[in-house]
């Protein structure tokens, strides 16, 4: 395989296999695959050539646990070299079980401890606005990750500020032990966010939700996928 040939969604599973050695991937390990793919394929204005450009869009993987789907998409889009995937987690590899932004091109944050990406993303969104930049910020979190209270500090402030360059994708595989009575989207809506709920495997619906108008409000897209349980 070479980098230029790996452009399509159908190439993601072979790329995942380079990391895991498996031909099959259980749904939980790739719960984020479609949500991330559609962002990089249809929404984010960023490429390997513009990974450090001031006016790029930003994607922050907050749910840094299980990053193989993320690495596969970055590889398909040319940020990473497929030859590096086989070393996943090894002592000489830059691809850890949680990503390190200082080791990988195109990776905006180092993550792994839950509940950091959204608060950081809020700071990025404010920093871009303060510099007059129109770039958009996207943060991916998991449904169980929302248990971390730090997320709710950011949800409240982003809503209060009407931070409309901030977007959150919640990949919901119902992995939170206690669940979210009233729904995840409601937690955002009550703070003033625009919200969409979609099938997290349907690329057309994901793209439509990602690109909807939400002037003056931050946007959350809850992407429902197969239950982990």
Partner 1 sequence: MRNRFVETTADLLDHDPRLAVVLAEITAAAFEPVAARHPDRVINVGIREQLLISAAGGLALTGLRPIVHTISSFLIERPFEQIKLDLNHLDVGAVLVGVGASYDVAAGGRTHQSPGDVALLDTLPGWTVHVPGHADEAEALLRHAAADGDSRVYLRLSTQVNAAARPVAPGRFATVRTGRAAVVLAVGPMLDPVLAATEGLDVTVLYASTVRPFDDAGLRAAVGAASAEIVLVEPYLAGTSVPQVARALAAAPHRTLALGVRHEELRRYGTPDDHARLHGLDPAGLRAAISAFLPVHAG
Q: By C-beta, is 6 or 107 nearer to partner 1?
A: 107
CA atoms of 210 and 203, how far apart (whole Å) = 10
CA atoms of 107 and 127, how far apart (whole Å) = 18
Nearest residue to 199 (alpha-carbon basis) of 188, 191, 189, 207: 207
Q: By C-beta, is 159 or 200 nearer to partner 1?
A: 159
Q: How far is the CB of 65 from partner 1 (least distance, A)?
A: 14
Q: How far is the CB of 116 from partner 1 (least distance, A)?
A: 6
The CA-atom distances, in angstroms, between 26 and each of 32, 66, 129, 201, 226 are 12, 12, 40, 14, 10
The CA-atom distances, in angstroms, between 86 and each of 19, 72, 96, 105 are 5, 11, 11, 17
Q: Given the structure tokens 């497929």, which residue do they identify?
A: 82
Q: By C-beta, is 75 or 110 nearer to partner 1?
A: 110
Q: By C-beta, is 17 or 150 nearer to partner 1?
A: 150
Q: By C-beta, is 109 or 198 nearer to partner 1?
A: 109
Q: How far is the CB of 132 from partner 1 (least distance, A)?
A: 9
* Radius of gyration for the chain, computed over Cα atoms and rounded to the nearest angstrom: 17
Which residues make up the interface to partner 1 (CB under 8 A)?
54, 100-102, 108-110, 113, 115-116, 119-131, 133, 149-150, 153-154, 156-157
Q: How far is the CB of 133 from partner 1 (least distance, A)?
A: 8
Q: How far is the CB of 127 from partner 1 (least distance, A)?
A: 3
């Amino acid at each position: 395989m070479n980098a230029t040939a790996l452009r399509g969604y159908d190439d993601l599973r072979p790329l995942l296999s380079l990391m895991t050695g498996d031909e099959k991937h259980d749904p939980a390990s790739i719960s984020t695959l479609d949500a991330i793919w559609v962002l990089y394929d249809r929404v984010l204005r960023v490429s390997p050539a513009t990974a450090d450009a001031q006016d790029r869009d930003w994607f922050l993987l907050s749910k840094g646990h299980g990053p193989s789907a993320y690495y596969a998409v970055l590889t398909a889009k040319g940020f990473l070299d497929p030859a590096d995937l086989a070393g996943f987690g090894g002592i000489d590899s830059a691809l850890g079980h949680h990503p390190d932004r200082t080791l990988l091109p195109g990776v905006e944050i180092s993550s792994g401890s839950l509940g950091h990406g959204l608060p950081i993303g809020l700071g990025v969104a404010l920093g871009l606005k303060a510099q007059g930049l129109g770039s958009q910020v996207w943060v991916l979190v998991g449904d169980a990750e929302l248990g971390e209270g730090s997320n709710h500090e950011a949800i409240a402030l982003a809503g209060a500020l009407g931070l409309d360059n901030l977007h959150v994708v919640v990949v919901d595989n119902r992995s939170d032990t206690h669940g979210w009575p009233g729904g995840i989207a409601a937690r955002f809506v009550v703070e003033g966010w625009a919200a969409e709920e979609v099938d997290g495997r349907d690329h057309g619906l994901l793209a439509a939700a990602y690109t909807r108008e939400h002037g003056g409000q931050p946007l959350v897209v809850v992407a429902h996928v197969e239950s982990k349980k």
